């Protein structure tokens, strides 16, 4: 009986990892949302968010997890965008240090503005956990459109992220 249970758990883990690694989330289309949220930490994320903002998919963008010393004009220069875009439409979040605190920072920003929908931009391997944590923080009040930045993660990145995702799910089930 115990061997069967362990075998079933192992099979579930293997199939879950295969799903996680082989079927990553994809970029979203040009759907409109109230705002765009991008989590710092991976190449292409901020570029993707700025592209979608400039395309008119939303009117505001929050970059969550920015280092305190970073200034909007520095980001504008680094990403080769007009300073006016950052002045009007880009907010910087300085409180987040990890995915869970990203979710808290984003939820607070969204609630203050009463947004009903957001486009979440992060790397494909990070999307499932980020979307889950953000969904927990936002509740049912705000729809999340996942917009994954394509990447080619190595096995170690996928393995680590899958276990972080499982830990987040377990924390949610246990109410942590």
Q: Looking at residue 125, what is its pLDDT?
A: 97
Inside any domain, residue 14: no
The 10s digit of each residue's pLDDT in 16-36 is 999 999 999 999 999 999 999
Inside any domain, residue 60: yes
- 73-78, Cβ contacts within 8 angstroms, sequence gap of 24 or more: 75/46
Per-residue pLDDT for 176 more than 80? Answer: no
Q: Assign 60 a pLDDT band (cuts: 50, 70, 90).
A: very high
* CATH number of the domain enclosing 119: 3.40.50.620
Inside any domain, residue 5: no
Cβ neighbours of residue 118 closer than 8 Å, sequence gap 6 or more:
33, 34, 35, 36, 37, 58, 106, 110, 142, 143, 144, 145
Task: Report the domain count for the chain.
Answer: 1
Cβ neighbours of residue 157 closer than 8 Å, sequence gap 6 or more:
125
Inside any domain, residue 83: yes
Inside any domain, residue 79: yes
Q: How far is CA 88 from CA 53, 85, 91, in A?
A: 11, 5, 9
The range of the structural domain enclosing residue 73 comes to 25-174
Inside any domain, residue 7: no
The 10s digit of each residue's pLDDT in 77-133 is 999 999 999 999 999 999 999 999 999 999 999 999 999 999 999 999 999 999 999
Average model confidence (pLDDT) across the chain = 95
């Amino acid at each position: 009986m115990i061997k069967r249970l362990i075998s079933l758990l192992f099979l579930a883990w293997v199939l879950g990892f295969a799903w996680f690694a082989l079927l990553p989330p994809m970029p979203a289309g040009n759907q409109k949302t109230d705002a765009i949220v991008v989590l710092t930490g991976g190449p292409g994320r901020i570029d993707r968010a700025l592209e979608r903002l400039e395309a008119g998919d939303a009117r505001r963008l929050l970059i969550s997890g920015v280092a305190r010393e970073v200034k909007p004009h520095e980001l504008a220069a680094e990403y080769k965008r007009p300073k006016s875009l950052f002045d009007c439409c880009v907010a910087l979040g300085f409180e987040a240090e990890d995915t869970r605190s990203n979710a808290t920072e984003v939820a607070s920003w969204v609630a203050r503005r009463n947004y009903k929908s957001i486009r979440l931009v992060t790397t494909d391997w990070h999307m499932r956990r980020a979307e889950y944590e953000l969904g927990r923080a936002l509740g049912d009040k705000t729809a999340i459109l996942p917009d994954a930045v394509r990447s080619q993660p190595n096995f170690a990145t996928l393995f680590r992220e899958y276990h972080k995702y499982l830990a987040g799910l377990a924390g949610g089930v246990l109410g942590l």
